[in-house]
Amino acid sequence: MKILLVSLISASFLPTALAEPMDCEVNGITDGNGFTCLTAQRQQIAVRLAYIDAPERTQPFGYQSLLLLADLIFRKKVVLTPLSTNDYQQLVARVTSGDRDIGQEMVSRGGAWVYHQYNHDPELPRLEQEAREEKRGLWSQQEGRIVPPWEWRSPGTGKVIE
pLDDT tens sequence for the chain (162 residues): 434 333 333 333 344 455 699 999 999 999 999 999 999 999 999 999 999 999 999 999 999 999 999 999 999 999 999 999 999 999 999 999 999 999 999 999 999 999 999 999 999 999 999 999 999 999 999 988 999 999 998 876 545 433
Compute the distance between CA of residue 65 and CA of residue 159 in angstroms, rounded to an integer: 17
Model confidence, pTM: 0.85
CA dist., res. 27 & res. 42, Å (int): 11
The fold of the 17-152 domain, in CATH, is OB fold (Dihydrolipoamide Acetyltransferase, E2P) (2.40.50)
Would you kindly state where each structural domain of the chain is located, as residue ranges?
17-152
